Structure 1
Amino acid sequence: MYTSAQFLPEEAISTAEPSGHGKVAAWVYSEAFVPEDEVLLRARERASELGCPAVLPGVGAVLRVLAAATNAHAVVEVGTGAGVAALWLLRGMPLDGQLTTIDREVEHQRAARTAFAEDRVAPQRTRIIPGRPGDVLPRLADGAYDLVLVASDPLGYPEYVNEALRLLRPGGVLAVDGALLRDRVADPARRDELTTVVREVGRTLRNDERVLPAMLPSGDGLLLAVRR
């Protein structure tokens, strides 16, 4: 029997609150607040075996709520991985909604298909596109999507976020996973390329008059923005 706690990164737990353990306990409690079932846990294990990223349980729960709250019929996911985030999104979407998910790694998408089959997701509910997100996203229609999740290749976040804003309808939601980068983004002394890129994405959205942004501490940081 797997548990979500097995998959919480030790580094994130150890750095969540330098001054004490109260915040760490609250974060761990929040991450496990909505337990993952066996289908999600098996998908998470496949992600670990493949070495591909997977949203943490707290982020997954938020994504499911967002999909349900927006009645998201059309969703784009940048970074299929092994299907963990996709399962959470699909469980919040209406049954006639469709998830378009993009990943350059066909092996990852094959694992995601296994997860979808285990969860009895109807084939028409997913559109699985292999390829570089920067090549695929420009082919998607303007203002046609209710929710866009960016959860792959942080160095590509500026490009993907810019495309995501074009894809969203007014009232649509952008979600960017890993926006705190294991607490590095919040540390002004960290100025390596990856940290600088992810930090700048947050600053750009915070100053963009087209959106209303918020930063959640769920998982490894979930940056949200609603398209005006």
Structure 2
Amino acid sequence: MSTDKANSWVYAEEFLGEDEVLLRARERAAQLGCAPVQPGEGAALSVLAAAVGAKAAVEIGTGTGVSSLYLLRGMPADGVLTTIDLEVEHHRAAKEAFADEGVRPTRTRTISGRALDVLPRLTDGAYDLVLVDADKENAPAYVEQAVRLLRAGGVLAVAGALWHDRVADPARRDETTTTVREIGRKVRDDDRLLPALLPAGDGLLVAVKR
């Protein structure tokens, strides 16, 4: 990466900055060993949620609520975020972030459990936006479930789509990088989706369901 390009990336990441609520959520993430979306990814998620008028959204991988906050800030005031995480401790931390933000309890539905057990119980075509931000091992299955959940015109978002800048290097063939690269290919080649890969944060793969 050239110096100018690197400077542009940093400028874009810092363009909006983060307030104390988000920074405290990031501190909790560091304490619990979570890897939340970076500011550029978060800002893009807010814009996507606002653009699609997401009244019903699903988040796979709550963490400590960083991406949840970004989504909620873009959603309308009556929008409901369903967020799934295996770790109860993560949900506890996320609820602290929601309280800091002043989010009404009726706007979030936290579900503790394996996403692959929870997702099949959610209604087909009922959601405006689905964010995949969980373990990469199961991410291909999450993405397939996400497409099922989306209505026509709904948005799919996959965080960490450049995976620490390893995906773009064909010489990188470790299991996680290969999995993330394959997700990109499948989304790109899926006739049901209109995709784009944004270089914000650690990469945000987005697509609209046709």
- TMscore range, shorter length: over 0.9
Residues 53 and 152 in structure 1, CA contact (< 8 A), matched pair in contact too: no
- The amino acid across from 1:131 in the alignment is G
Determine the structure 1 residue equivalent to 2:162.
180
Number of the residue aligned with 1:166: 148
* 1:70-219 pair list within 5 angstroms: 70-219=52-201
Once the 2 structures are TM-superposed, how far is the Cα of residue 169 of structure 1 from its aligned partner? 0.2
1:34 matched to which residue of 2? 16
**1:26 aligned counterpart, secondary structure:** helix
The alpha carbon displacement at 1:191 in A equals 1.1
Q: Distance in 1 between matches of 2:85 and 2:54?
A: 21
Conservation of the 8 A alpha-carbon contact between 1:72 and 1:146: yes
Please report how far the alpha carbon of residue 35 of structure 1 lies from its aligned counterpart in structure 2 after TM superposition.
Answer: 1.2
Partners in 1 of 2:202 and 2:154 — Cα distance? 22
In structure 2, distance between residues paired with 1:54 and 1:48:
9
User: Where do 4+ consecutive residues of structure 1 move more than 2 Å?
Assistant: none
- The total of aligned residue pairs comes to 210
Structure 1 SS opposite 2:194:
strand
Query: Is the partner of 2:84 in helix, strand or coil?
Result: strand
Q: Which amino acid aligns with 2:116?
A: G
SS at match of 2:119: helix
The one-letter code sitting in structure 2 at the alignment partner of 1:75 is A
Q: Is the 8 A contact 1:144 1:167 kept in 2?
A: yes
User: Does the aligned pair in 2 maintain the 1:78–1:102 contact within 8 Å?
Assistant: yes
Question: How high is the sequence identity, in percent, across the aligned residues?
Answer: 67
Unaligned runs of 5+ in 2: none
Shift of 1:160: 0.1
